[in-house]
Structure 1
Amino acid sequence: MLIQRYSLGNVVRYGFLSKGNGIIDIMQIFSIIKEKEQVNMDIINLTINIKFCRISYHEKDWVERKTKCDYTIWNIISGGLALQINDQTLYAKEGDVLLFHPGDTYKAWCHDDDHCYFLVTFFSISSGNVIDILTQKSTAGLYTNNFVKEISIRFCDEYTTCHDNEDTHNLKLYAAFLNFFADLSSQFGEQLPFHTSSDSVSDQRLHSLLDFISKHVESNLTVREMAEFMSMSEKYFSGYFHFHIGMSPKQYLTKCRMTHAIQLLSDPDNSISEIAGRLHFSDQYSFTKSFKKYYGETPGRFRKQHFYVHNAVTSSEYL
Structure 2
Amino acid sequence: MQSLEYYEQKIISDSEFPVQMFVNDVGKKVWYFNQHWHEHIELHYVLEGRTTLRLGQREIPAREGNLVVVNSNELHAGYCDGTHMRVLVIIFDMGDFYKELADKNVIFQSLVERDETIDAIMSAIQKEYSEQRIGYRLICKGELLHLIVHLAREYAAEVLTERESDSRKRRLERLNTVLDYIQSNYTKQISNRELADIIHLSEDRFNHLFKESMGMPPLQYMNEVRMKKAMNLLKRKEGTVVEIADSVGFTDYNHFGRQFRRYYGCAPSEILKK
TM-score (norm 1): 0.42
TM-score (norm 2): 0.48
Which structure is higher in helix share? 2
Which structure is higher in strand share? 1
Larger Rg: 2
